[in-house]
Amino acid sequence: MDLEVLNVDDDKMVLFIHEKMMVHAGFSASPKSFEDGYATLNYISENKAENKRFVIFLDVNMPKLDGWEFMDELDRLGLTSYCYIFVVTSSIDQTDKEKADTYKAAVGFVEKPLSINKLKDLKKTKELVPLFGEKI
């Protein structure tokens, strides 16, 4: 099973930090970055394959299409089954976490800042174990 990591955040700086960390943590050798949700959706529908899964770090607060709308859209386009989503937010508001639990595609909730240790922990997420298992 192939694995592709996508970072979605409207802040370029955050994307830069995330890429660096992912490479360093061995989470992904070449993560892709997207500044808005629509571009991400296009990329997924054009590059989807039966033997490939997208792990998406999705920022909740984005101007055009926010994280929640992104997941609704993903569902509507029938792309949810290709994706494992980590909902990323800088908010320390508990309601975001509760809301994330209600989305089928969401496998985890990450509070910013991301860190190398956090990424190592995320690898052990139940849904991701088979993906990383093949590689390791």
Partner 1 sequence: MTLANKALKILIVEDNLGDYTLVKEYLEERFENITCELAINYSDARKLLLAHTDFDVILLDLILPDESCTQLIQKIIAIAGRTPVIIMTGSLNLDFCMDSLQLGVSDYLFKDELNTNTLFKSISYTIEKQKTHLQLLESEKKYSDLFNLSPVAMFVYDIDTLKIMDVNAAGVQLYGYAKGELLSMQLDQLFFSKNTDAYLEAFEETNPKNKFSFEDHLILKNKSGKEIKAEITVKTLQSRNKSAKLVVANDITERLLHFDALNAQNKKLKQIAWQQSHEMRSPASKILGIIELFNTELCSKDEQKFLIKEIEITVKELDDVIRSISEKAKQVNPKT
Residues that bind partner 1 (CB under 8 A): 11, 13-14, 17, 20-21, 24, 61, 90-93, 111-116
The distance of closest approach from Cβ of residue 116 to partner 1 in the complex, given in angstroms and rounded to an integer, is 6
**Nearest CB to partner 1, comparing residues 44 and 65:** 65
- Would you say 47 and 14 are in contact if contact means Cβ atoms under 8 Å apart? no
The distance of closest approach from Cβ of residue 104 to partner 1 in the complex, given in angstroms and rounded to an integer, is 25
Q: Exposed/middle/buried for 48, CB within 10 Å: 0-12, 13-18, 19+?
A: middle
**Nearest CB to partner 1, comparing residues 41 and 62:** 62
**Nearest CB to partner 1, comparing residues 60 and 105:** 60
**Nearest CB to partner 1, comparing residues 116 and 131:** 116
The distance of closest approach from Cβ of residue 110 to partner 1 in the complex, given in angstroms and rounded to an integer, is 11
- Would you say 102 and 71 are in contact if contact means Cβ atoms under 8 Å apart? no
The distance of closest approach from Cβ of residue 101 to partner 1 in the complex, given in angstroms and rounded to an integer, is 18
